[in-house]
Structure 1
Amino acid sequence: MSVWALGLNHTTAPLDLRGRFAFALDQIAPTLQSLRSSFASGRHPQVEAAIISTCNRTEIYCASEHIALDHTVGWLAESGGVAPALLRSHAYTLHDDEAARHVFRVASGLDSMVLGEAQILGQMKDAVRAAETVGALGTTLNQLFQRSFAVAKEVRTSTEIGAHSISMAAAAVRLAGQLFEDLRKTRVLFVGAGEMIDLAATHFAAKEPKSIAIANRTLERGEKLSSRFGGEAMRLADLPARLAEFDIVVSCTASTLPIIGLGAVERALKARRHRPMFMVDLAVPRDIEPEVKALEDVYLYTVDDLAQVVQQGQANRQAAVAQAEVIIDAGVQSFMHWLGQRGAVPLIQQLNAQADEWRAAEMARARKLLAKGESVDAVLEAMSRGLTQKMMHGAMAELHSGDAASREQTAQTLSRLFLRKER
């Protein structure tokens, strides 16, 4: 059995390319079904699969008897509408121990834009549940992910990997504080109501802004989140008309197209008499049209723009990183040992089946002898001798066949198997 991974992240691919391969959580199940169907039509009918998709990465993990990286690359390229060569130039492909090491590092927060951040672990668990729901997660990938979660837990409890981390939300607050002298005088709008917006709203609310509003496609969900911060909820359709009211706009939705366009922002700036607007687009694909960044009175930051801020203090975490890598190395070795043993499972099953067949035959023979009146001791002696002969017959025949070199090798193997001294 082999495992392989195909992915692109914030270090290998620009934001707009990552946006082509971003899958919302409710898209994961049908996307997995499409991927597995593509394998079934070729030479790899039985493939386990899982997809992790966040604002910083999209990764496909697969397991099968034979690695099929080229097929995986072709399928993902087609789904994103790009040439396979372009995808390969921005992607990474890993297999077996390299794939295991990568997923362990991702779960532990070592491969994140925010070193040591914990949000990725929840996103990975969501991805695993989605794969389980459609029956795409077999024994091998389930073992890989469960071990990655265990390694991540050990890294976080045994090291200080997340002690100095700065979240994307905290970085946004820090940048907003550089533009506005007093955040308590600002009006903040959050577009979306997912986990990232929840986190961002929590950080901004701590600065006690003048007002908070949540714009969401589903008003009920927006109201639920806004009530926690004493804010108001509004429909997404009302956003263009009310955009001018807000000094700070933070957006993160699952929309496949921008929902805040250049024209809407231009009209908002005119109504604001060109008072500055601070905008943060945490979505992949983008929620805010990239042309907005060129406007004179707008300060627009994307997830990639925040990279420099969130990496501050990274030097303080290098000792923790070294400790984490040791834990991950041990986890990789353990998984590869388990994976290697999985290759012997069919043989073990065949041996057990053969032994059961011999046992059943000797039991049937023993019952017949007992029915004829044979003594119990004689029957037990005959049954034990019959089992022994059946077990040793193949080994003895192999020992007497072949040339001298093969007989010597067989003799060493049989000695190791049958003449072991119990410790």
Structure 2
Amino acid sequence: MTVLTLGLNHTTATVDLRGRFAFAVDQIAPALKTLREQLTGAPQSEAALLSTCNRTELYMAAAGAGKPVPQLRHAAIDWLSRTGGVSRDELLRHTYVLEGGQAARHAFRVASGLDSMVLGEPQILGQMKQAVREADTAGTLGTTLHQLFQRSFAVAKEVRTSTEIGAHSISMAAAAVRLASQLFEDLSKTRVLFVGAGEMIELTATHFAARSPRAMAVANRTLERGEKLAAHLGAQAIRLADLSQRLHEFDIVVSCTASSLPIIGLGAVERALKARKRRPIFMVDLAVPRDIEPEVARLDDVYLYTVDDLSTMVQTAGEKRQAAVAQAEAIIDTGVQGFVHWLDQRSTVPLIQALHGQADQWRTAELTRARKLLAKGEDVDAVLDALTHRLTQKMLHGAMVELHSADAHTRPQMVAALSRLFLRGEAVLPTDLQRPRGRLLNDEDLA
């Protein structure tokens, strides 16, 4: 099997371009089924789709390393370009395609938080596990990708328990609070609105709640879910439909929904600023695609930040960070070597299955013959002796034929191979057998 990774992330594409390839959780399984239908050149392929605010990545596996692999790669690129509505050439300018060990290394680094905008952030691990569940639901998660992801999770766990990688990171939520503190001297005097009720909003709201703002509110498309989060935070729940009429009440707005279109427009923010008598609004758009129209950033009294804008806030430096990264990379190296070794072993599975099948055929035939002889009253010891003799002859026959037909150049290698397979180092081969001189060996020579 060959493993492929095709993706784009915060280092290769802008937030707007990434937004064109963003998938909500409930869209992933249907998308994978559609992709599978288009992979006619690789019907036994596997696929999983990871989509977050920072990346969209396809993980794929195909049998063999020949013709199916480029077919799989081309089909995946074509499918993704159509999905995002961009040309193939435009997509390729912002994507990376990795294969084999490099694809495994990338998956391990992503799971461990080394490829994240926030170094060591833990949220990506949960998102990868969700991607695996969706691939399983879609029926596109095979043995190879299952093994890849399980090893990714194991490596990520070891990185977190054996290094201090997580101790040297600033989460997006903490970064948002830090930026807000630079604009408002006392966050306890601010009113904060959270738009959405997902994991990222809950995390960010928890960080803001620790600063005890004067008031908090949660606006969500599904009021029941918004009320649940609001109750947890001690906040007020409001309807998303009422957002534009109440926007002026809030000093801080943090939005992260799965909407495919912006839900906070330029006009709504302009009206809010007018009602606030030009008092500033701090806004954080953590959604991909955007929740807040980008034109809002041009307004004088609005401080709008996207996930990309927060990147400078989540970078840390120093010797401890570098040491933690070096330790993590060493753990990942070991994990990659183990996966590549397992992948190489998988290539022999068809041969192993064929050998077992052939041995079972021989065993069944000889058992049938022995039972017939016993039914006729033949001596049991004689029947068993004949059975074992015929089985061993069948097992050795192919090896003897290859040995006898080998020429002077290939016979030493054949002898060495047969010695490893059948003698297992328990016998010393005659010198004549290692250096054949003129005649082919027969069964009596080996007796």
Whether TM-score is above 0.5 comes out as yes
Q: Is the 8 A contact 2:191 2:214 kept in 1?
A: yes
Q: Is the 8 A contact 2:132 2:141 kept in 1?
A: yes
Identity of aligned residues (%): 71
Measured in 2, the distance between the counterparts of 1:226 and 1:422 equals 74
Q: Is the 8 A contact 2:47 2:145 kept in 1?
A: yes
**What's the counterpart of residue 59 of structure 2?**
61
Aligned residue among 137, 144, 147 for 2:148: 144
1:175-194 maps to which residues of 2 (within 5 A)?
Answer: 175-194=179-198
The residue type paired with residue 42 of structure 2 is H
The residue type paired with residue 210 of structure 1 is R
Measured in 2, the distance between the counterparts of 1:373 and 1:201 equals 85
- For residue 301 of structure 1, give the secondary structure of its aligned residue in structure 2: strand
Aligned residue among 371, 378, 382 for 2:382: 378
**What's the counterpart of residue 29 of structure 1?**
29
The residue type paired with residue 110 of structure 1 is L
- For residue 404 of structure 1, give the secondary structure of its aligned residue in structure 2: coil
Deviates more, 1:372-381 or 1:188-197: 372-381
- For residue 364 of structure 1, give the secondary structure of its aligned residue in structure 2: helix
Measured in 2, the distance between the counterparts of 1:61 and 1:312 equals 30
> What TM-score, normalized to structure 1?
0.98
**What's the counterpart of residue 322 of structure 1?**
326
In the alignment, structure 1 segments of 5+ residues that lack a partner are none
Measured in 2, the distance between the counterparts of 1:289 and 1:141 equals 38
**What's the counterpart of residue 46 of structure 1?**
44
Measured in 2, the distance between the counterparts of 1:294 and 1:72 equals 38
1:218-297 maps to which residues of 2 (within 5 A)?
Answer: 218-297=222-301
- Counting matched residue pairs gives 421
Q: Give 1:371 deviation, angstroms.
A: 2.2
Aligned residue among 328, 331, 335 for 2:339: 335
Measured in 2, the distance between the counterparts of 1:235 and 1:243 equals 12
Q: Deviations over 1:209-244 (max 9, x none)?
A: 000000000000000000011111011110000000
**What's the counterpart of residue 4 of structure 2?**
4
**What's the counterpart of residue 301 of structure 1?**
305
Q: Give 1:47 deviation, angstroms.
A: 1.3
> What TM-score, normalized to structure 2?
0.92
Q: Deviations over 1:13-52 (max 9, x none)?
A: 1110000000010110111111111103xx2122100000
**What's the counterpart of residue 389 of structure 1?**
393
**What's the counterpart of residue 113 of structure 2?**
109
Q: Give 1:373 deviation, angstroms.
A: 2.4
Q: Give 1:421 deviation, angstroms.
A: 2.6
Measured in 2, the distance between the counterparts of 1:313 and 1:272 equals 40
Measured in 2, the distance between the counterparts of 1:249 and 1:6 equals 34
Q: Give 1:422 deviation, angstroms.
A: 6.0
Q: Is the 8 A contact 2:419 2:425 kept in 1?
A: no
**What's the counterpart of residue 93 of structure 1?**
97
Q: Is the 8 A contact 2:168 2:316 kept in 1?
A: no
**What's the counterpart of residue 444 of structure 2?**
none
Measured in 1, the distance between the counterparts of 2:170 and 2:222 equals 30
- For residue 57 of structure 2, give the secondary structure of its aligned residue in structure 1: strand
**What's the counterpart of residue 350 of structure 2?**
346
- For residue 189 of structure 1, give the secondary structure of its aligned residue in structure 2: strand
**What's the counterpart of residue 363 of structure 1?**
367
Q: Is the 8 A contact 1:166 1:311 kept in 2?
A: yes
Q: Deviations over 1:325-381 (max 9, x none)?
A: 111111111111111111111111110011111111111122222223222221221
Measured in 2, the distance between the counterparts of 1:314 and 1:302 equals 26
The residue type paired with residue 21 of structure 1 is F
Measured in 1, the distance between the counterparts of 2:318 and 2:3 equals 32
Structure number with larger C-alpha Rg: 2
In the alignment, structure 2 segments of 5+ residues that lack a partner are 428-447
The residue type paired with residue 155 of structure 1 is V
Measured in 2, the distance between the counterparts of 1:164 and 1:245 equals 36
**What's the counterpart of residue 127 of structure 2?**
123
Measured in 1, the distance between the counterparts of 2:319 and 2:267 equals 42
Measured in 2, the distance between the counterparts of 1:398 and 1:309 equals 68
**What's the counterpart of residue 436 of structure 2?**
none
Q: Is the 8 A contact 1:115 1:314 kept in 2?
A: no
Deviates more, 1:188-197 or 1:403-412: 403-412
Q: Is the 8 A contact 2:54 2:117 kept in 1?
A: yes
Distance 1:213 1:315, change over 3 A: farther
